[in-house]
Structure 1
Amino acid sequence: MAQQPTKLPIKIIAGADSYGCNLKDSLVSQLRSLNIEVVDLGTDKYYSIGEQIGRHVSQAANNNPNPAVETRGLVACGTGVGVAIFANKFPGVYAATCVNPDEARNARSINNCNVLAVSGMNTTPEVASDVLKAFLETPFKSPCPASGSNPWPDEIDQFLDNSVLEMKKIGALENGEKGESGGCNLCSLVKGREFKDVDIMPGGSISIVRESPTAAFVRFTAGSVEPAHHHTFGHDLVVLKGSKRVWNLSKGEKYDLGVGDYLFTPAGDVHRVKYFEDTEFFIKWEGQWDLLLDEDHAAANAAIDKEMEN
């Protein structure tokens, strides 16, 4: 039997890139007129807003088994496709791009969709309003266009329940849900390697696995700070564990990074880092490893404390 509509109040995490911001603003106004709580992350560049929405919804879905509020996401870009792809990188996130109300009803009924992605270039505010309404009002496993507006047969009803349970396991690297491969291949490579302290970075240690171009695994303990510094060569990094914030002082930008996130920092860009948890990441320099400090730890901590207060 199809379940009844959720009785939990809904909270929406919303955001858009520059191609979807006007449509997002219109839908946020609609949500607030319905007295639905909205956290509007505003406008960010391209894929990153999809990643931010995905992380927020994933954390809400996975960190609290008995929530008082159901957290969903709303994200808009030019097509609605790219942001949905990035949001879906997170466990417990089921993002769908919907261009009409029937697609939203199907996505909610069949996939328990919890992030609605919309197209700022191809969907009018009027149609998007109807899409949002269907997204809000359609319960999981309810009659929908795909079911001919009839209740799902018992065997399909059971399949839908099981599919959601299976989807929750995809991407999960914690609590023993690692599968036959043992989880992340990069994480497996770091096991057993010897880490050496980085003298000028308290709390940091490194295991270099290749030199010039350089590849390494790096660890920092929770609360550690990297003062503003730069490198002769650009570098790519992927976070394997924990979370951090990177301020690119040269560009006036900041990035919150968690497990699976990627960041490229160009050669010469001055950046400062704060670690919120014990964190590990894989990093690759385009040349040899070097690190040139642009401030001391006291100045870095003072700057970060001021930033966090604001």
Structure 2
Amino acid sequence: MSQHTGHRIKFVAGADPFGCALKDTLVSHLRSLDIEVDDLGTDNHYSIGEKVGRIVSSGTDSLEPEIRGLIACGTGVGVSIFANKFPGVYAANCLTPADAINARSINNCNVIAFSGISSSPESSIETLNNFLNTPFKSPCPASNSEPWPENIQSFLDNSIAEMSKIGTTATFPEKINSPNSCSICNLAAGREFSPVDIMPGASMKIVRESPTSAIVRFTGGSIEPAHHHKHGHDVVVMKGRKIVWNLSKSERFELGAGDFLFTPAGDVHRVKYLEDTEFFIRWDGDWDIELDEDLATAAANLGKEV
């Protein structure tokens, strides 16, 4: 239980290599206050910002515990940009203790970003304490430390509901088929896929968070180099054909439309797409991937396998 807020807060934290030392200091400070922290460790700034933002976004409807984020990179800007891509995430880069007070008072920020290059541990701890202590709409440096006037209070009250609609289907009511439509049906007609940078030829649309479910597409001839996940995953092929080699168990599976495959957590597997393929995948937890070989090595090994 946080002594700062009177209700339970859980933090999700992460940083890039330039912010990891400061992040570790701040995580230790939070834990010393008996605040639960899920430390996602270190990754590049856009990936760790995305991971923290995704989790905070998926927990915005939770009252207990309240989910907040703590992110850091060299400047604090990069991680906040990618955390802010998710609905309900309000990440602010706070270089001073006053920035944190303003961010909480005016924007009800739920993710705080730090600069591992510009900010000292001592100043950052004070900044983090302000982020914990400051309620929404409270006096802040921007209000000259005075209570907000009634008209500003009213504006801030209304802003919460209006901001929460941005990035959701509520912003685009014409996309909703009927009041009883499920979210997957709403997404299907105008589904937009994003490239998977580490997998040439791949694009993905995440349709559910934690546990993660997604629709994935690969162009024919594409290769997934040997890799593994920390969670097991189910795959159902919707169209196309692919071959999966489970290298950990020396097994080979050729899959077509309608076929199902479960790959256990940690099993190293390599995939070759024989034609344009689309499949549904569900992990037993959050999406992650660890490569065990590069693309050139995978292509060379597949030349011996196929």
- TM-score, with structure 1 as normaliser: 0.65
- C-alpha RMSD over aligned residues: 4.2
From 206, 224, 231, give the equivalent of 1:269: 224
Q: Distance in 2 between matches of 1:70 and 1:278?
A: 35
Question: Per the alignment, do residues 6 and 303 of structure 1 end up closer, same or farther by CA in structure 2, a change over 3 Å counting?
Answer: closer
Question: Per the alignment, do residues 29 and 240 of structure 1 end up closer, same or farther by CA in structure 2, a change over 3 Å counting?
Answer: closer
Q: Distance in 2 between matches of 1:276 and 1:45?
A: 27
Q: Distance in 1 between matches of 2:235 and 2:161?
A: 29
Runs of 4+ with >4 A deviation: 187-190, 256-259, 261-264, 271-280, 297-300, 305-309
- Contact 2:13–2:40 under 8 Å retained in 1: yes
Calculate percent identity across the aligned residue pairs: 46
**2:77 is the counterpart of 1:81:** yes
Counterpart position of 1:103: 99
From 173, 188, 191, give the equivalent of 2:189: 191
Structure 1 residue ranges without an equivalent (≥5)? 194-214, 218-232, 246-255, 281-288
Counterpart position of 2:47: 48
Counterpart position of 1:163: 159
SS across alignment from 1:301: strand
| Residues 127-176 of structure 1, C-alpha deviations (whole Å, 9 max, x = no match) | 11111111111111000000000000111011011111111001113xxx
How many pairs are equivalent?
241
Counterpart position of 2:129: 133
* Bigger mean CA deviation after superposition, 148-157 or 38-47: 38-47
Shift of 1:292: 3.9
- Contact 1:141–1:160 under 8 Å retained in 2: yes
Q: Distance in 1 between matches of 2:150 and 2:144?
A: 15
Shift of 1:102: 0.5
Letter aligned with residue 262 of structure 2:
N
**2:136 is the counterpart of 1:147:** no
From 242, 254, 271, give the equivalent of 1:291: 242
Q: Distance in 2 between matches of 1:56 and 1:118?
A: 18
SS across alignment from 1:269: strand
Question: Per the alignment, do residues 82 and 113 of structure 1 end up closer, same or farther by CA in structure 2, a change over 3 Å counting?
Answer: same
Question: Per the alignment, do residues 46 and 155 of structure 1 end up closer, same or farther by CA in structure 2, a change over 3 Å counting?
Answer: same
- Contact 1:50–1:75 under 8 Å retained in 2: yes
Q: Distance in 2 between matches of 1:50 and 1:263?
A: 25
Shift of 1:290: 6.7
| Residues 2-57 of structure 1, C-alpha deviations (whole Å, 9 max, x = no match) | xxx84312211111111110000010111111111111111122211111111111
Structure 2 residue ranges without an equivalent (≥5)? 177-184, 246-251, 269-283, 286-306
- Contact 1:242–1:278 under 8 Å retained in 2: no
**2:200 is the counterpart of 1:234:** yes
Shift of 1:69: 1.9
Letter aligned with residue 264 of structure 2:
A
